[in-house]
């Protein structure tokens, strides 16, 4: 089940979008409810999950572990792209990152 990750404005306008046709995120994300990754394990693979700029530093800290576990160039590029979306959100105002489940 592929996830889409979008950077959105406060009005819902999509400013940037990352597609994952290989469904690598489903393999890389920790299982639901994992106590070691409270933010990442809360991403709903079938629904939408939204993060705001206050949550970005904590998300990025957990994301470092995901990036460290990548095995392919595709996974590394995907992780870097998502990290960059979170950095843009953190540096801006009224921006959100939405994980859109299948």
pLDDT for the residue numbered 35? 83
Compute the mean pLDDT over every residue in the chain, rounded to the nearest whole number: 94
Spell out the residues 6+ positions from residue 48 whose beta carbon is closer than 8 angstroms to its own: 98, 99, 100, 101
Q: Which domain holds residue 68?
A: 4-100
SS3 47: coil
Q: How many domains does the chain have?
A: 1
Give the pLDDT score at 32. 84
Low pLDDT (below 70) residues in the chain:
1
Q: Please tell me the pTM assigned to this model.
A: 0.92
What is the structure's pLDDT at 33?
Answer: 78
């Amino acid at each position: 089940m592929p996830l889409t990750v979008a950077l959105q404005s406060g009005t819902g306008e999509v400013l940037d979008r990352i597609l994952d046709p290989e469904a690598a995120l489903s393999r890389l994300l920790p299982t639901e409810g994992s106590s070691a990754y409270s933010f990442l394990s809360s991403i709903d693979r079938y629904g939408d999950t939204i993060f705001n700029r206050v949550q970005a530093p904590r998300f990025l800290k957990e994301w470092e572990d995901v990036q460290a576990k990548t095995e392919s160039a595709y996974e590394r590029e995907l992780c870097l792209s998502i990290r960059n979306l979170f950095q843009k959100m953190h540096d801006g105002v009224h921006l959100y990152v939405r994980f859109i489940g299948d």
